[in-house]
Amino acid sequence: MLRYLTAGESHGPALTAIVEGFPSGVTLDVEVINAELKRRQGGYGRGKRQTLETDRVIVDSGTYHGVTTGGPITLRLVNNDAKLERLREPAAPRGGHIDLAGSIAYQTGIRQVLERASARETAMRVAVGGLARLLLRELGIEVFGFVRELGGIEAPPVALDPGIRDASPVYSCNPEVDPQIVSAIDAAREAGDTLGGVVEAVVTGCPIGLGSHAQWDRKLDARLALAVMSVQAIKGVEIGLGFEAARRPGSGVMDPIRYEADHDPGDRRFGFRRPTNNAGGIEGGTSNGEPIVVRAAKKPISTLAARGPSVNMATKGEAPASYERSDVCAVPAASVIVEAVVAFEVASAVVERYVGSSLEAIRAAMAAMHELSRRHLDQFWSAEAPGGG
């Protein structure tokens, strides 16, 4: 089982993660992870904090000469803006934040809960996702996250070629690429407001059979939904057509099945082809070999420079919600984060299905399972023992 926990406050000394169950034999290229961290820090609309932080991962355990050992991997990110003990208690809780509910639930001030709830934690999730990606890449599986729409404006389409991931200008909404989106973010900033959007992650190269139909908490779509919904400010998750499926008749949702006899023996879909992918690569909680498509709605940031109505916690009288330095838009960052948590869930499903404590063992189990499935397809439905119609 592959799992992780994160720890750390937004303005504490550092963020930490322990990743457990990661196989041995994977070269832990920290620069691949650092590139993902840099992507997360980018994007138009971010606040001043990103100019203070230079996120680079430190590996404190679980490797030997840069290669994973199978032991727990400890990742650490240092906060440059580590000023937790000097920060004041906000006077009026901000709607849309943990501020009010958390201080009541934990019987603390607002500061204690908001520091942990902060999306600063997503830097560590991207580092953990980067680690997962290193494993997936070894197995021919790629994950690519990008912005679908921002502030109600559709982002330019992105080709589903993972090769363009690093070069893609769309995720970061560069002004020269999408001036309309940039103007919308500028207008929101001037009005003391914020913008949300929709992001998407696509997984390619997935073998058939990740997840399971057999038990609720082993379903891959359910696990992806949990992982994505757990990201700060994500308020909706769709797989494939998602909510659009509810508006169509069955004939417009079900993906037809075709067969290509002349397929490569290594074909991960065994010759079966789906001309559409409305299911988003998952049927019955199980990957079906098509690209896995996960979409997420990110709400606009709740901390408003224009300050929404709230209550002073001491007097209980009306007061504008506390304002702290804040992003105006973090949708491009969310696309990197959603990509990371999806990568981790897929890696976790891979480790579960192809049980192995080393990369080589996982590779061997994958190859053996492929051969087993090929034999099954040849023998189970032979002419002598035809299946039911």
Residue set of the binding site for FMN: 116-118, 232-233, 284, 299-303, 325
Nearest to 70 by CA among 135, 120, 133, 15: 135
Nearest to 300 by CA among 124, 152, 171: 152
122 forms part of the interface with ligand FMN (CB under 6 A): yes
Site for ligand FMN in 278-317 (CB under 6 A): 299, 301-303
232 forms part of the interface with ligand EPS (CB under 6 A): yes
Total residues contacting ligand FMN (rule CB under 6 A)?
A: 21
> Which of ligand FMN, ligand EPS, none does residue 123 bind (CB under 5 to 8 Å by kind)?
ligand EPS
**Helices 359-379, 122-138: inter-axial angle, 10-degree rounding:** 60
Q: Is 143 exposed, middle or buried (0-12, 13-18, 19+ CB in 10 A)?
A: buried
**Helices 331-353, 220-229: inter-axial angle, 10-degree rounding:** 150
Residue partners of 266: CB distance under 8 A and separation at least 6: 370
x/- map, 337-356, ligand FMN, by CB under 6 A: x-------------------
CB of 356 vs ligand FMN, minimal distance in Å? 33
118 forms part of the interface with ligand FMN (CB under 6 A): yes
Beta bridge partners of 5: 18
Among 326, 357, 358, 373, binds ligand FMN (CB under 6 A): 326
324 forms part of the interface with ligand EPS (CB under 6 A): yes
Total residues contacting ligand EPS (rule CB under 6 A)?
A: 15
Q: Are 181 and 153 in contact (CB under 8 A)?
A: yes
In the bound state with ligand EPS, the residue whose beta carbon lies nearer, of 123 and 350, is 123
Among 6, 63, 68, 118, binds ligand EPS (CB under 6 A): 118
Angle at 285 between CA 360 and CA 243, to 5 degrees: 130
**Helices 99-106, 110-117: inter-axial angle, 10-degree rounding:** 120
Q: Are 270 and 374 in contact (CB under 8 A)?
A: yes
CB of 40 vs ligand FMN, minimal distance in Å? 7
For the stretch 211-246, what's the b/e string if a residue is b when 16 or more beta carbons lie within 10 angstroms of its beta carbon?
Answer: bbeeeeeebbbbbbbebbeebbbbeebbbbbbeebe
Residue ranges of the binding site for NADP(+): 40, 46
Among 74, 212, 277, 326, binds ligand EPS (CB under 6 A): 326
120 forms part of the interface with ligand EPS (CB under 6 A): yes
Kindly state the helix (H) or strand (E) to which residue 41 belongs, with its residue range. Answer: helix 30-41
322 forms part of the interface with ligand EPS (CB under 6 A): no
In the bound state with ligand FMN, the residue whose beta carbon lies nearer, of 208 and 227, is 227
Task: Using the rule CB under 6 A, give the single segment among 120-128, 130-138, 250-258, 276-284 that binds ligand EPS.
Answer: 120-128
112 forms part of the interface with ligand FMN (CB under 6 A): no
Compute CA distances 264 → 203, 261, 269, 292, 313, whole Å: 21, 9, 10, 21, 67
CB of 122 vs ligand EPS, minimal distance in Å? 6
In the bound state with ligand EPS, the residue whose beta carbon lies nearer, of 94 and 133, is 94
x/- map, 65-84, ligand EPS, by CB under 6 A: ----------------x---
Among 8, 43, 45, 49, binds ligand EPS (CB under 6 A): 49
Other Cβ atoms less than 10 A from the Cβ of 83: the count is 11
CA gap 325, 303 in Å, rounded:
8
CA gap 136, 95 in Å, rounded:
39
Task: Using the rule CB under 6 A, give the single segment among 217-225, 237-245, 323-331, 352-360 that binds ligand EPS.
Answer: 323-331
Residue partners of 34: CB distance under 8 A and separation at least 6: 55, 56, 57
Residues at the site binding ligand EPS, with contacts judged by CB under 6 A: 10, 47, 49, 53, 81, 118-120, 122-123, 232, 324-327
Residues at the site binding ligand FMN, with contacts judged by CB under 6 A: 47, 96-98, 117-119, 122, 231-233, 299, 301-303, 326-327, 330, 333-334, 337
